[in-house]
Structure 1
Amino acid sequence: MPLNAGEAGYGSVPGLGLSGSVGASEAAPLLIPETEPVQHWRPLKKEELEAAAGGKGWRRVRCYLVLLFWLSWVAMLATSIAIVATSPRPVVTPLRWWQKTLFYQLQPHLLMEEQAEGSGGINALCEQLPYLRSLGIGAMILEGPFDKEASPSNLTGTGESSGTLARIQHLLAESSKAGLKVVLDFCELDLAGSAEEPANLSASHALRFWLEQGVAGFAICDTDAAYSEKTLLEWRGVFKEFSSQEEERILVVKQMRDVPPPPLNNVTLVDVIMRSILPPSLHLLSDKEVADAIETHLQTREDDIWPSWTVVGKASHNVKKLLLVLIMTLPGSPAVQYDEDIGQTQATESSSVALFSSLSHSRAREEALLYGSFTFLPFNSSSNSTHASPSSPPVLAFLRSWGCVHFLILLNVGPEPRALDPAWAPSLPEAGVFVTSTGMDRLGSMTLGALELRPHEAVVIKLFEAGSYS
């Protein structure tokens, strides 16, 4: 069928130019835009903004909210300051070096080995000085480096003992390198000298000689002739010449008498009073004698003179470990006697060395063991375990407190296990954690109600309230 492609268009569709033609419909726009006015954006006026924000009252509400916020913040800040200001807090008393230091007493046979090897004993000791320092020891007391008959001329190297003095000078130099202070023990020496000696070789001259060598202080006994107010005043004047705020020179007095003589009460003349926990004895003390001596010292303490605790009396090996825990946790400066176990090298470290190191480092980092208050906690008869006999020594305990931190030290001097009475100290926190023990096998958390002390055992426990881990 022929197609009509003329002006009439396709089929019955009208041709171009006609009102109904395809050309007319294709030329016309499909979407005819409507004529609308152009909108121009402009900021709202004050009245329009207030109307949109809720009216004029909104500004007042906003000012009140801001004021309320700042008032609440200031109130919380003031409350916090008031709580901190009114809360009880311990007062830190600045401690001097000898009040924070662990003393180590060296016996004469360690120093005076006059054998074929010459100064081998001193050299062997010098090699151990860094090791002793790593254990927490801060000062050494050299006991018996001079003969009892030594005079001031011998002490200054002008007598027959000049070889001994040279060894001590070598030890002083090596101790300074290791960071250890040295205190010379003049106990039972004739510091007055003889009438034939020149005046310039007096005791004061001997003190100046050793202070110039770097000695940190001197130790004498309260039974010495030099222990008099006149002598101590003279010595105090010499100390002031060589003392500074960092390098204070001290005088240590060993208490040999049961009743202190009068100069002991003068705190301006004596720095440290060294007392023994056990009385001097030639025989091995029984458990009851040890317990009585400890309880006597725990109940009667003096706060006017700085104490240093040591052990002179004889006791068994297990009791010695218990006494080590005791003197390292009492207020004051512990003075540990030379022990073959502690004096070993690191290669032969034993449980005694581990206990010593644990106690010294705990004492150095825990403020409660340095600054804390002391509270003796007596036990009654109901605290005895069913395993213990009535004649067995009681468990001894005391508390070292600093703020909210409490250290409980328990000492079972007897040969039988002991359990704690739950009603013994109801005010103490029930929970705690072991810090150390004589057996070095107490670890982790604990509760006082479930604790049983072994024979001749001492434990150090850090108590804390329920839910607290400080």
Structure 2
Amino acid sequence: MEQTHSVTAEETVNTPGRMPLNAGDTGYGSVAGPGLTGSVGASESAPLLIPVGDGEPIQRWEPMSKEELEVAAGGPGWRRVRCYLVLLFWLAWVAMLATSIAIIVMSPRPVATELKWWQKSLFYQLQPDLFTDKRSEGSEGINAVSEQIPYLQSLGIGALILEGLFDKGPSHPNLTASDGKVGTLPQIQRLVAESNKAGLKVVLDFCKVDHSGNQDEAGNADKLSNLSATTDHELRFWLQQGVAGFAICDTDAAYSEKTLMEWRGVFKEFSSEGEERIVVVKQTSGALPPLNNATLVDVVVRSILPPSNHRLSAQEVADAIEKHLQTKEEDIWPSWTVGGNASPDLKKLLLVLMMTLPGSPAVQYDEDLDNRQNLSMKVGSSPGENNTSVSHTDKEKERRLAVALFTSLSHSRAREEALLYGSFTFLPFNSSTNASSSDYSPAAPPPPPVLAYLRSWGCVHFLILLNVGPEPHALEPTWAPRLPKAGVFMTSTGMDRLGTTALDSVTLRPHEAIVIKLFETGSYS
């Protein structure tokens, strides 16, 4: 009886000498071997090696339903939270807006004082006979002043004080006629008309002109009455011509309440809003004689330097300036002029001082501001004189710097509120001198101090530094700690300081004045 032996596939593969089943042209499995061909579909055993499933289902995107969104967002309670957050945002925004408005309304801020025309004007005092120069060509006297009106207006001058037009003798003068030295009456009328047309006010100087006339021992009352009537007629005559006012001295007989009251009565007939007629009083003494009614005088011209026959020293100039800076002015509107005799080195410094003090500056005639000086210099020189030519070149350069400084100061004063009606604060100054200590002996007086003050309006401050002495000064780091630390140069006597600067790095040159504009952050502007 023969026994049968079944051979498994594993034995067939592992047993040498045995031929594998299904060995033929078609390979076994789904992967064909080298030199063989085959496929899954051609093999009966393919399903055994590579199971084929039904495949993964394709997921399609579908929007969430309302119920699903509410579940994802936390349900109806989350909607209430969002509404509360939106409401809280708008309530906070409205609260911040209301707080900002309350801060702006309740915060202190400067109130601009309405200024009259003479409080905003720059007065220019000149004598027309100074324009009578035989070396120059063209018009002279009153006609020369008329021709310079556009130029004077370009410098920022707002009013002219014409001096020396009338006699100052003991007999009562005729104030409706000129002495003929500088021009005739029609020429003066033409000057007033052209000045008014250009927006330049004209003030006639009656200072030291005798308005009372000679009186006999009995004091003829009829004569005094006639003189008063004559003065009334003369005032009306010039007011009709368009004159803006009259200047008198505090020593004149017209400086009395009775006379000024009469003048005021005449002024009312010719005054209108913006065209008020004024009385300018020149103070010649240390103190102005009091008046019971201060409103009778509009402007008081005060001298910064005391009258002196000799040239004042730097220390005397510094003392005079400091005295005025520490003195509180009266209710009468002040106007500043240099007055005394100072060194030419301090000429520009005093100009900066006048232009930045509270009040209206009254600048005396300066030949450096006369554009006719170019013509005079050309007439006086010859082509062959080299030294003269060089000196004239230096003179012209100096004149241009003087005009640039004057124009810069006048225009800054016209557009800056702090310089027009800002507050004034005198600053005690501490400085370090850059000069060697060996330059001073123990017996020698100390150098004049540097003077400083502020003109402030809101958060804008103008710092004015004046070095009257002949030595340079540097600012101490601890000086004025409450001031802003930096600013921008507005102008200087040398017209060579530009751009921003830190106060700690400022060093003043000898006889130099500097104007720096400071900004205080975080304050009302």
TM-score, with structure 2 as normaliser: 0.73
Aligned match for 1:243, one of 257, 267, 271: 271
Partner Cα separation in structure 1 for residue 509 and residue 139 of structure 2:
45
Q: How do 1:46-445 residues align onto structure 2 when only pairs under 5 Å count?
A: 60-61=80-81, 63-110=83-130, 120-149=140-169, 154-157=174-177, 164-193=184-213, 195=223, 198=226, 201-263=229-291, 266-344=293-371, 350-380=400-430, 383-387=432-436, 389=440, 391-445=446-500
More deviation in 366-375 or 459-468?
A: 459-468
Deviations 1:109-155 (A, max 9, x none): 2367899x997322222111111101110000011111102877611
Q: Compared with structure 1, are the counterparts of its residues 262 and 200 closer, same or farther at alpha carbon in structure 2 (3 Å cutoff)?
A: closer
- 1:424 deviation in Å? 2.4
Partner Cα separation in structure 1 for residue 132 and residue 255 of structure 2:
26
Deviations 1:390-417 (A, max 9, x none): 5211111111111111111111111111
Deviations 1:320-339 (A, max 9, x none): 11000000000000000000
Q: Compared with structure 1, are the counterparts of its residues 233 and 441 closer, same or farther at alpha carbon in structure 2 (3 Å cutoff)?
A: same
Q: Compared with structure 1, are the counterparts of its residues 158 and 353 closer, same or farther at alpha carbon in structure 2 (3 Å cutoff)?
A: closer
8 A contact 1:104–1:140 mirrored in 2 = yes
8 A contact 1:112–1:164 mirrored in 2 = no
SS in 1 for 2:306: coil
8 A contact 1:383–1:424 mirrored in 2 = no
Paired amino acid for 1:322 = L
Paired amino acid for 1:457 = E
Q: Compared with structure 1, are the counterparts of its residues 330 and 200 closer, same or farther at alpha carbon in structure 2 (3 Å cutoff)?
A: closer
Q: How many residue pairs end up in the alignment?
A: 422
Paired amino acid for 2:328 = R
8 A contact 1:395–1:418 mirrored in 2 = yes
Equivalent residue number for residue 24 of structure 1: none
Deviations 1:344-393 (A, max 9, x none): 2697651111100010111111111111111111235x644444745211
8 A contact 2:355–2:413 mirrored in 1 = yes
Deviations 1:170-200 (A, max 9, x none): 1101111221000011000112345399468
Partner Cα separation in structure 2 for residue 151 and residue 48 of structure 1:
113
More deviation in 351-360 or 441-450?
A: 441-450
8 A contact 2:166–2:173 mirrored in 1 = no
Percent same amino acid at aligned positions?
72
Q: Compared with structure 1, are the counterparts of its residues 277 and 234 closer, same or farther at alpha carbon in structure 2 (3 Å cutoff)?
A: same
More deviation in 210-219 or 156-165?
A: 156-165
8 A contact 1:253–1:272 mirrored in 2 = yes
- 1:259 deviation in Å? 2.2
Partner Cα separation in structure 2 for residue 159 and residue 204 of structure 1:
20
Paired amino acid for 1:304 = D
Partner Cα separation in structure 2 for residue 111 and residue 164 of structure 1:
15
Q: Compared with structure 1, are the counterparts of its residues 79 and 176 closer, same or farther at alpha carbon in structure 2 (3 Å cutoff)?
A: same
SS in 1 for 2:296: coil
Partner Cα separation in structure 1 for residue 425 and residue 183 of structure 2:
50
- 1:165 deviation in Å? 2.3
Partner Cα separation in structure 2 for residue 419 and residue 441 of structure 1:
17
The alignment yields a C-alpha RMSD, in angstroms, of 3.2
SS in 2 for 1:441: coil
SS in 2 for 1:154: coil
Partner Cα separation in structure 2 for residue 229 and residue 212 of structure 1:
24
Paired amino acid for 1:294 = I
TM-score, with structure 1 as normaliser: 0.81
Paired amino acid for 1:447 = A
Paired amino acid for 2:358 = P
8 A contact 1:341–1:353 mirrored in 2 = yes
